[in-house]
Structure 1
Amino acid sequence: MQTRQIIFKERPKGMPDDSTFNFETTELPELKDGQVLLKATWFSVDPYMRGKMSDAKSYTEPFEVGKPLNGGAIAKVEKSRSKNFKEGDTVFGMLDWAEHQVADDKNLRKIDPDLAPPSYNLGILGMPGLTAYFGLMKVGEPKEGDTVVISGAAGAVGSVVGQIAKIQGCRVVGIAGSDEKIDMLTNEFGFDAGINYKATDDIKKDLKEACPDGIDVYFDNVGGEISDAVTMQLNDFARVSLCGQIALYNATSMPTGPRIQPILLTRRVKMQGFIISDFQNEFGDGIKKIASWLQQGKLKYEETVVEGFDNIPKAFLGLFSGENKGKMVVKV
């Protein structure tokens, strides 16, 4: 059986583009014991994948040039030589960007499509939701009455962080890149205020107006000039949860910004980077908590759905121009 797959053609310098990817047809191997044949139904595209396109030392292995890219995906079992999965099962796994593939059963997790839409396992019930939960609760340590600021607030992680902060009794301010996204944050997700960083003439002034009592928790998805502005308004004993730096992922040289160490020192600020796998032993508890809030109507969820296997690269590139509201997923 043949299938199409998306190959990592070359390591990008700066912003990836269509030349980063190549579509190829390949022959699938015969099934062995403990393996299944999968037909992909949903793919996740995420900012962390840009880091895997570099061969610099990181917390995860880089993509291999000439091999298929991979990431979180949902698939149907079409054939099985596994004791754990049968034909028709819906599964989650870190899968190649391919229409069909053979996978070992030990790398898959069965999901129940009747409990929630399958794509939710790529978002609020998956890595982004868990990143929001642990990054805020374990690193940000919000307390009732705190002011919490989130950059990249309209994305898959940021939109959930803000809602969880509201559940904790915090004032929540989101920074995003369009008036439409700010409207979504304040009117749909319950944020107290929002700042369109692309429209403001003075983000420092807007932050002071939105955060009259200063900033106690900053959930940083973006980095760059936005984070420089937020840092200047951190309160004593503030906490900064470093989740992402998407503003810098495509930089071709190391930018120089404000020297923030004096602020961290004199205001006794805690700034901590984290990777979601740091909390993998607690994933079960996190999923239960998030699912409970969903069932109670305390959490809302937004997806941007791109149709078609051929459009996976386009969806990925769209992350860097802010084309997504909430989680970006591709429906095959």
Structure 2
Amino acid sequence: MNIWLGAVLAALVSLTAHAATTDSTPRIQQVVYKSGHGSVQFKQSIKGYKTAQYRLNAKAGQLLTVDFKPSNTSAYFNITAKGSDYALFNGSMMGKHFLGSLPADGEYTVQVYLMRNAARRNEVADYNLSLIIANGDAVDNHAPFDQNLALQGIHFHVQATTVDGKPTLRIEPKGLEIDNSAMTRPLNGEIVRAEVADLNNDGSPEIYVFTRASGRGMPGELIAYSANHKKSLSDIYLPPVSDNPNTAEGYQGEDSFSVVENWLVRRFPLYDSADANAGRTGKMRQVQYTLDAGEAGWILREDKVTER
């Protein structure tokens, strides 16, 4: 829900350092949304040093979602803004899903490629690519979120439901040794994504649910639980951005979240000031968190902050 993003490393490197370097002419696809937003899907392939570029025009504040499902594990995608030498999103470091708020009006390119080791072996990657543009001030109405996820023998049924007429998140675990009671939390926005992970590598999974409320200044929200030694669920606490004045500078909500290797990554666009009428700077800030044991549960601690 993916924006973004600079890379997870303190020193970003150019796209050519991650994608296979070659003189091979890319396959270019112009993506057109007749109403300025919508969804398109591609089922295509690349081979060797051949890359594919999907170019689309979008406005600042619109939400871009990219889902990439390749047959080859060495295939990734990057996202760049026109005129930039660096990736806003680098798939080789950040995964195969992107969701975030675009920082500026203009053309963006989603480039699909094989890493150099696979490209020089002339390998093939078949893939499904979904590109969704949604207006930031309106969340598309669609079927209620309902997804089953599993990791390390523990299953989670995640769904958006209604309790006493109010939107509610319901997470029902299965496979825990002591307590498999469902957890419910009020929803202040739409569920945009859910992921299971083991960020602290303790052999027991966590469930992360990302939500987003429409409108400028509305923060994204993380709802997360840890399966303590596969026995029962307990809350994971994410401190507010305001806890660190340096991180909070220019922050006006519009967060997006993703799990990248052993980090939770939070991304948001930067504004000139905290004033409601402030303009966007065109940059994004990325905050990486590690999962640690706290005094009364689990806490996500700020580990690294970058911006582009």
TM-score computed with the length of structure 1 as normaliser = 0.23
- Which structure dedicates a bigger proportion of its chain to helix? 1
Larger Rg: 1
Higher strand share: 2
